[in-house]
Amino acid sequence: MPTEPFAYEVWLRLGAFGLMLLLMLSWEQLAPKRQAKISKWRRWRANFGLVVVNTLVLRLLIPAGAVGAAAYAQQHQFGLFNSFQLNQALPGLAIVIAVICLDAIIYWQHRLFHRIPLLWRLHRVHHADIDFDVSTGLRFHPLEIIISMLIKIIAVLALGISPLAVIIFEVILNASSMFNHGNVALPRRIEPWVRKLIVTQDMHRIHHSRAQVETDSNFGFNLSIWDRLFGSYTARAEKGPDGLEIGLDEYPSEASSTPLWQLLKIPFTKPKSDL
């Protein structure tokens, strides 16, 4: 029986994904925060269709992924953590530091996708969704997913992060994206305290505002400290949590959210007032 943690990567990630998705769908059904503008079934076919496409693309082009890079770094004692024997001497601490470092890298990656026009063309697939629910947290263009994976691979090799730490981070990243994109809200008395540590739905929903000054804020996916630390934090939308308008002005209609083929071609077409 294989003992390496990456031998079970697919099943660990699939199980965590399925459990978190089920929890969020149930929560959204029981206590939705906002009324949907369009049929969620049409959106879901497109958004979840992207999940299938992205999974196939990654498995075809970069089958080993970041976990494979971590296994390589471990085998060849490559990277910063291995140079200082941190993975061997203090494996628990190494995992915590690795997860925090990767979370910071994803924060800056996110900012770059908003800052660099070519990358924004890819990332606007995510922001063109005119509704906001758990499926939005999975709605990314395949080219963005590939670039993100390459960035993670470079970071994993440079730092010498262990395979187990990468798996833990990937599970957290995927779960947190579904959590903070949920069409739900934490109780008002609890939410301000929770967002001091992690990104909540009310905090991240601001990032999906049609107002650009709000879109260009709250970039964090998991830990909320990065937005406060690097000056990109917006505590409250100008129109409030209930009046906030979701999406992009250049993609205002249902045609910009569905079908799947429309999402795939967004980076290659000029935005119009209506597609």
Q: Measured between alpha carbons, how far is 64 from 256 in angstroms, rounded to an integer?
A: 33
The backbone region for 247, taken as left when phi is positive above 0, alpha when psi lies in -120 to 50, beta otherwise, is left
Please return the burial class of 263, using the count of CB atoms within 10 Å of its CB with bins 0-12, 13-18 and 19+: buried
pLDDT at position 273: 53
User: CB under 8 Å to 16, separation ≥6 — which residues?
Assistant: 171, 174, 175
pLDDT at position 155: 98
pLDDT at position 39: 82
pLDDT of 270 above 90: no
pLDDT of 1 above 50: no
Indicate the domain borders of the chain: 38-183+251-262
- Residue 180 · residue 97 · CB < 8 Å: no
pLDDT at position 47: 96
pLDDT of 253 above 90: no
**Residue % of the chain over a pLDDT of 90:** 84
What are the pLDDT digits (tens) for 63-118?
A: 889 999 999 999 999 999 999 999 999 999 999 999 999 999 999 999 999 999 99
Core vs surface per residue 223-253: b (16+ CB within 10 A) or e: bbbbbeeeebbbeebeeebeebebbbeebbe
Cα 77 → chain centroid: 29
Radius of gyration (C-alpha) of the chain in whole angstroms: 19
User: What pTM, to 2 d.p., does this model score?
Assistant: 0.92
Mean pLDDT of the chain: 93
Q: Measured between alpha carbons, how far is 123 from 120 in angstroms, rounded to an integer?
A: 5
What are the pLDDT digits (tens) for 136-187?
A: 999 999 999 999 999 999 999 999 999 999 999 999 999 999 999 999 999 9
What are the pLDDT digits (tens) for 227-243?
A: 999 999 999 999 988 88
